[in-house]
Structures are given as C-alpha cells and as structure tokens.
Amino acid sequence: MSTALATAKSAAGLTTLQRLKIDLMTHGMSVSSATRSALAGRDGLRPLTLADYASTSGIALEIGEDIWVNAPISDYNANFVTEPAFTLDHQSEGFVLRGKDLEIRTHPLPVPGYHNERLPSGRLLTDFAITHTDRVRISPIQGCSYVCTFCDLPYDKRYEKMPVEGLIQSVRRALQDPILPAHHILISGGVPRDEDWPWLNGVYETVAASFPEFPIDVMMVPVPGHFQVERLYEAGIHALFLNLELFGVEAARKIMPRKVRVGLETFLDVIEGAVAIFGPGRVYSLLLAGLEPIEDTLRGIQALAERGCDPVLSPFRPDPTTPLKNHQPPSAELLEEVYLRSVEIVNREGVKLGPRCIPCTHNTLTFPDASGFYFQTSALRHSAGCHGLGF
C-alpha cells in the first residue's frame, strides 16, 4: 500500500482507506477459500469470527495505519451482505483486499486460541468471555431485562447471572492467550433485573480487584438508584460507556422503550457527573447511526460533547435474530455525512469521537488523528496471528 493511497483525500475530505472502511461496514466483504483455509489454522477448526454481537459479527481487519474495521460476511449476515465489492484473499505474501480497482495489504485477526476451550465447570469459555482485537469482554448478565429491537441479547440468550468464578477464570485465560492476548477488559452484557443490581455491583469490584494491573471499562445503562458512578471510580474502573444509542424520542420509544423510561435528562446528568469524576477521555456514550434521522443523531453528538463526553458513532448493523433483521444498514453516504458533521461538533467542544483505543475502533465510525489522544495498548499488527500464521 503506497503512502499516496493512504493519504489521498476525496472531495469530501476522507482518505481512500477511510472510505474503504465505510464501504466494508455498509456492504461487507466476501472471503476466498484460501483465506478460509488460512484463518482456520493448522487444525482447520477455527471459525472465521466468533460473531457474538451484531456489531462484532464480522472479521476484524487492520486496513491501514491506525484504521481498523469489523467487516461483516455473508456467513453471519446474509440478511444484508449480498453483493460485496471487496474480497479478502490470501496469498504467499499475506492477506489482501481486492475490489473497485484497489488491492490493499491487510491483516485480519484470527479468533483467540480459547475459542473452543471449556472451563473446569464444563462450560465453554466463550460463554463468559469474548476477545475482539486487544480487548476481552465479559458479560456477567446473559440475556437482558430490557428488550431493544436492534439488540440480539433478549432474543438469542435467556436471562442468567453468570458464575463469578467463571468470569475471573475466563479473563485470566484471555489475558494469556497465545494467539490473541487481551490487553484490557470490558465488563458489559445485559441490564440486570432490579434485584440483581447489588450482585452486579459486587462483580465490578471483584473483577477490578482481581486484575488491578489492567485497564477495566464498564458498559451499562445508568439505571437510577442502581448504577453507582463514584463506587466504580473508587473500585479502580478506568472508563465508562453509558450508551444513549438513540437520541430522538420518536425512534427510541419504538425501538428501546425500557431505556426511554430511564429518561434522557437523567441519562445526560449521569454522564455529565461521570465526566466530573472520571475526567476527560474516560466517559463515552454510543449513538447508533442509521436508526433515526441524522439530525437527531447529531443533536445527540452535541449534547454529549458539550458535557465533556466522547461520543461513539456505531453504524447500525441488522442482526438476523432480531425484529430489525430486514432493516437495511445505513448507506455509505449517510455515514460519511454523519461522521464529518460529528467531527466538526467534537472539535468545537474539545472532545474526541471515541473510543480512544485504536484497535477498539474496529466497529465504530472513528478515525484516529495525530492529536496524541488516541492510543494502542498492544502491537497487534506485529503478532504472527495477524498474518494468519503461527497457529
């Protein structure tokens, strides 16, 4: 890949590789038989992706310096990956993306070595933990007490509190994985029932105490009376993801009615208070691009940015198990517009589009700049696994 290709600007101000990321997010890619064989590993048993959430159902690729993308494939997203323009191929020199008169060297990440391992309890380790790029995510609550029609959790998994011992064991294994070792931790998962919040707050503290040397983030709905920002900060949690997901009331009432009951102003007040406690660059809130009018999304970006929160733009990806499975993902033109207009807002307000961890931008509409605010916790591109070798 030439320097000219990486830096060439389009009329809209995006580079060729930035536009490629948007194309892959919108239309996905096909995978050659040579790529399937290479990513399957020496035993031929590794899946292409663990495909656990809608936004992580594809293959994570590094397509340029600090540009990562989770590219959906028809294996898991046949509902919209129908005629992709790009193909991921493998040859003796490594992996390449081909399409639209482009041929670009790239580095797909294989699934972690623990993908089919079981814990001493007999349960699959992936029931507890999933690694994407350099972050392991654990879900103390399987399923969800809320039902949002864009999310697979209430449709694909029954509600369950996961054993804390299994959560700790799975994180420890993920941090030591020889193929895709995790370097930081996200505690996410479904929203607990009211009676289970004390248990979840205890899980946050237990995980933080068990891995004090690793950054640990928490992603959760800030339910009033249950979500305790100061307690999380005192426990050593590094950052919070308090995701609005939809800002416009009309769309939100139809798609995520339980979250609407929390109240937009309550949500924003908690976010502003969290920024005051955790500091800049450590509080994020995700907005889904493509499920509401673009002006509503941009109003959300403004509301978050002026409170010191880093907004995160996540292109809507229809999950086949949800009621929105036939809803088309946003067009490349819409994603370009919402990104460029969002950059204007965050620059004016002095925040950044998150997340700030560079590999974690693989499923978000984020392009790290040279400001120094974005970081990389590991040298993923230099690992043997990134080249489909050594496993």
165: domain CATH number? Answer: 3.30.750
Token couple for 368: 């790290």
| 367 assigned to some structural domain | no
Q: What is the pLDDT of residue 380?
A: 59
Question: Are the C-beta atoms of residues 373 and 356 closer than 8 Å to each other?
Answer: yes
Q: What is the pLDDT of residue 379?
A: 58
Q: Please, which pLDDT band fits residue 391 given cuts at 50, 70 and 90?
A: low
pLDDT of 385 strictly over 50: no
C-alpha to C-alpha distance for 75 and 189, rounded to whole angstroms: 24
Q: Please, which pLDDT band fits residue 299 given cuts at 50, 70 and 90?
A: very high
| 326 assigned to some structural domain | yes
- What is the arithmetic mean of pLDDT over 110-134? 96
C-alpha to C-alpha distance for 34 and 380, rounded to whole angstroms: 22
| 145 assigned to some structural domain | yes
**Residues 207 and 301 both lie in one domain:** no
How much is the pTM? Answer: 0.93
**Residues 77 and 149 both lie in one domain:** no
Question: Are the C-beta atoms of residues 355 and 312 closer than 8 Å to each other?
Answer: yes
End residue of a domain, out of 217, 251, 279: 217
- What is the arithmetic mean of pLDDT over 165-193? 97
**Residues 123 and 93 both lie in one domain:** no
| 226 assigned to some structural domain | no
Range 355-358 contact pairs with CB under 8 angstroms and sequence separation of 24 or more: 355/284, 355/310, 355/312, 356/281, 356/310, 357/134, 357/135, 357/184, 358/66, 358/68
Q: What is the pLDDT of residue 43?
A: 86
pLDDT of 110 strictly over 70: yes
**Residues 321 and 278 both lie in one domain:** yes
| 361 assigned to some structural domain | no
Q: Please, which pLDDT band fits residue 9 given cuts at 50, 70 and 90?
A: very low
C-alpha to C-alpha distance for 101 and 16, rounded to whole angstroms: 12
Question: How far, CA to CA in Å, does 144 sit from each of 147, 317, 323?
Answer: 7, 19, 16
CATH of the domain at 319: 3.20.20.70
Tens digits of per-residue pLDDT, 314-327? 999 999 999 999 99
| 175 assigned to some structural domain | yes
**Residues 62 and 155 both lie in one domain:** no
Query: Which region among 8-17, 320-329, 351-360 has the lowest average model confidence (pLDDT)?
Result: 8-17
Q: What is the pLDDT of residue 199?
A: 98
Q: What is the pLDDT of residue 26?
A: 96
**Residues 254 and 346 both lie in one domain:** yes
C-alpha to C-alpha distance for 270 and 183, rounded to whole angstroms: 28
Q: Please, which pLDDT band fits residue 6 given cuts at 50, 70 and 90?
A: very low
Query: Which region among 53-57, 70-74, 349-353 has the lowest average model confidence (pLDDT)?
Result: 53-57
| 270 assigned to some structural domain | yes
pLDDT of 301 strictly over 90: yes
Q: Which residues of 333-371 are buried (b: 16+ CB within 10 A; e: fewer)?
A: ebbbbbbeebbebbeebebbbbbbbbbbbbbbbbbbeee
Q: What is the pLDDT of residue 21?
A: 98
- What is the arithmetic mean of pLDDT over 287-295? 97
Question: How far, CA to CA in Å, does 245 sit from each of 23, 118, 253, 262, 264?
Answer: 22, 34, 12, 13, 11
**Residues 119 and 99 both lie in one domain:** no
C-alpha to C-alpha distance for 383 and 372, rounded to whole angstroms: 23
**Residues 84 and 33 both lie in one domain:** yes
Q: What is the pLDDT of residue 13?
A: 81
pLDDT of 388 strictly over 50: no
Domain that holds residue 257: 242-355
CB count within 10 Å of CB 40 equals 16
**Residues 307 and 279 both lie in one domain:** yes
Count of domains observed in the chain: 3
pLDDT of 232 strictly over 60: yes
**Residues 174 and 253 both lie in one domain:** no
- What is the arithmetic mean of pLDDT over 276-286? 97
**Residues 64 and 151 both lie in one domain:** no
| 375 assigned to some structural domain | no
- What is the arithmetic mean of pLDDT over 144-159? 95
**Residues 207 and 267 both lie in one domain:** no
Token couple for 151: 């999310």
3 state SS for the chain: CCHHHHHCECCCCCEHHHHHHHHHHHHCEEECHHHHHHHCCCCCCCCCCCCCCHHHCCEEEEEECCEEEEECCHHHHCCCCCCCCEEEEEECCEEEEEECCEEEEEEECCCCCCCCCECCCCCEHHHCEEEECCEEEECCEECCCCCCCCCCHHHHCCCEECCHHHHHHHHHHHHCCCCCCCCEEEECCCCCCHHHHHHHHHHHHHHHHHCCCCCEEEECCCCCCCCCHHHHHHHCCCEEECCCECCCHHHHHHHCHHHHHHCHHHHHHHHHHHHHHHCCCCEEEEEEECCCCHHHHHHHHHHHHCCCCEEEEEECCCCCCCCCCCCCCCCHHHHHHHHHHHHHHHHHHCCCCCCCECHHHHHCCCCCCCCCCCECCCCHHHCHHHHCCCC
